[in-house]
Amino acid sequence: MKTASVGDLRDQFSLVEKWIEAGESVEITRSGKPFARPAPVTSREQTAPKWPDFLARMREDSSGEK
């Protein structure tokens, strides 16, 4: 687990952001004591898209069935 101080967040946020984006656990300290543990957010946009079954759709269209 990586550790960053509140000052590191202020001065070098881009570095800490890269750690989090890479899936690294980061513990934020304030006055040397653990303060927070930010984690990456998994959103629906980051998951693999569900592709339609084009072949099945073509079969339906060619047979006239719906």
Higher pLDDT pick, 3 / 47: 3
Give CA separation, 56 vs 4, 13, 41, 66, in Å. Answer: 52, 48, 35, 11
Compute the average pLDDT of residues 34-47.
76
Q: What is the fold of 2-63?
A: YefM-like fold (3.40.1620)
When pLDDT is cut at 50, 70 and 90, the band that residue 21 belongs to is confident
Compute the average pLDDT of residues 22-36.
92
Alpha-carbon gap, residue 8 to 28, rounded angstroms? 9
The reported pLDDT for the residue numbered 34 is 95
Domain boundaries, the chain: 2-63
* pLDDT of 43 above 70: no
